[in-house]
Amino acid sequence: MNRNRKRIRLAAVIMASALTAAMPVSAEGSSYGTQIGGYKTTGFKKYVLQDKDAIIPNLDFSYEISAGEAKAYNVGEKKFEVLAGIDADRVTMAGVGTETANHICFSNSDGTKNDANTSVKGYNQEENVYIEKEASLDFSNVRFTEPGIYRYIITESGTNRSVKNDSDATRVLDVYVYDATGEDGAKKLEISGYVLHSSEDDSPEIAMGESNGSTGRYTDTKDQGFTNEYQTVDLTFRKEVSGNQASKDKYFKFTAALTNGIAGDIVKVDITNADGTVPSNAATLDAYENQENPTQLTFDGDGKATGTFYLQHGQQIVIQGLPADVAYDITEAAEDYKSEPAKVQDYTGAVNGTTAREDIKTSYLNTREGTIPTGVATAVAPFAALTAAAGAGILLVTRRKRVR
């Protein structure tokens, strides 16, 4: 009998232990449950600013969520405390434009916007377009323990070529948690809202309500997210001919070789001041007839792109949206013309080099000069004199006949 009682007691202890292990445990010092209600997700916007003529390449930005520092505010002689964020590692962010979490990615297939009413930092509607994406942060798994304002830091990083990163790499996100105890007396916490603001300085102060609680807003302007700028340059090359035997109808062949680009990147070519297709004329090689000027170039897997162009006097093309550090080399098939690079007025940039931060304007000047023979007038003179003399002789004979 005693043995049976001992077995029963032991079984009861084991069962109690198992039930205790299976039950959710609240955080120490808190009488609230671990389930959070209210607005469990929030987000921030990400912008990439670029020139209207550029095509954005593949870009990748990553983000880290960490706990901010607790801070005591004193607003109008009212004191208020912001708490350091808890469980920052439990805040999740899905990838945007990629399957990789905590990343926002862009590509040349992304659509651009041109909105005059946007608040994108540094945006100029006459010169720029922008791409907008939005990340979502999920706080469902964060185990808040008490009501209050919890501060988190969002940090952006990225080493994308030709991209000027936001001057402030971090944003502050304050999460407002309140006591949502129901009529049944069950204690619970809910997220009532979020405030995202810039951390370039610590001037924003929490606005205080009449009962010394927060009003859920800041006295300074809110900040929507991160803005980065894709910085590019344009490469223009122009064609002019000169000389008394130079044809301004003739088309010349040019080759633009680009290297050190990014595989898969696309750049536009503006041929507004050139012909789309080479017409037939007596001055141009037959092989050039019906050849087309391309309107875009694509870098291959080795970061190279080559374009063949045909220009006559006064025409030019513009390769648009080149990132920094792309090497270029413009060559010409001058045929029987004298060819001089970078000689056209206002287009004196080098015909080969590397892109930096300034637009490039280069050119080729082709010259064909000939000497008009000075003996032409002399050669004609004796014949003219002989003709005149013959005419005078005929006139004299005619007159003599009349006298008789």
Task: Go through the domains of the chain in sequence order and give each one's CATH number.
Answer: 37-230 (2.60.40.3050), 233-367 (2.60.40.1140)
Mean pLDDT on 264-293: 97
Percent over 90 (pLDDT), the chain: 62
Listed residue (175, 169, 171) closest to 153, CA to CA: 171
**pLDDT over 50 (residue 11):** no
Split at pLDDT 50, 70, 90, the class of 275 is very high
pLDDT on residue 384: 53
**pLDDT over 50 (residue 377):** yes
pLDDT on residue 47: 95
Q: Output the pTM of the full model.
A: 0.78
Q: Pairing mode, if any, of strands 78-84 and 148-157?
A: parallel
Residue 157's Cβ-count burial label (10 Å; 0-12, 13-18, 19+) is exposed
Residue 298's Cβ-count burial label (10 Å; 0-12, 13-18, 19+) is middle
pLDDT on residue 26: 38
For 354, the token pair is 């590397």
Mean pLDDT on 90-114: 95
Three-class SS state of 18: helix
Max CA distance (Å), the chain:
183
| 292 DSSP β-pair partners | 277
Contact 19, 13 (CB under 8 A): no
For 49, the token pair is 């600013």
* Contacts (Cβ under 8 Å, ≥6 apart) of 331: 254, 255, 257, 351
pLDDT tens per residue, range 13-22: 444 444 333 3
Mean pLDDT on 291-301: 97
pLDDT on residue 383: 54
